[in-house]
């Protein structure tokens, strides 16, 4: 699953720089996660770094974006290949 940021976000700016896939950006009111870029840090870290640093625990799994670890690994490989090109 990709992650999502809920409206409990306080715009503290700590999650965005932690994302190795640059999937987090400032939205109109709160930060948002691009599900096409979110791998839950699979391929980079053992746990999602944004969840690790979030002081208000507002980054749950997105129930509308069910993905297996294998799917996330494939997405990671695709994203890293695109960066290298």
| DSSP 8-state symbol, 61 | B
Residue 5 lies in a domain: no
Q: pLDDT tens, position by position, for the chain (85 residues)?
A: 799 999 999 999 999 999 999 999 999 999 999 999 999 999 999 999 999 999 999 999 999 999 999 999 999 999 999 878 7
Q: Residue 72 sits in a domain of what CATH number?
A: 3.30.70.20
How many distinct structural domains can be found in the chain?
1
Pseudo-torsion of CA 39, 8, 12, 52, nearest 10°?
-40
Quote the pLDDT of residue 37.
Answer: 96
Residue 6 lies in a domain: no
Residue 1 lies in a domain: no
Range of the domain at 27: 16-84
Residue 11 lies in a domain: no
Quote the pLDDT of residue 7.
Answer: 97
CB-based contact 83:43 (threshold 8 Å)? no
Residue 73 lies in a domain: yes
Query: What is the pTM for the complete model shown?
Result: 0.92
């Amino acid at each position: 699953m990709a992650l999502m940021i809920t409206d409990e976000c306080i715009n503290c700016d700590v999650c965005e720089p932690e994302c190795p896939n640059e999937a987090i950006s400032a939205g109109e009111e709160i930060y948002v996660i691009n599900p096409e870029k979110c791998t839950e840090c699979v391929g980079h870290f053992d746990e999602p770094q944004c969840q690790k640093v979030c002081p208000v625990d507002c980054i749950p799994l997105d129930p509308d974006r069910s993905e297996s670890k294998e799917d996330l690994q494939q997405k990671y490989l695709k994203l890293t290949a695109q960066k290298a090109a």
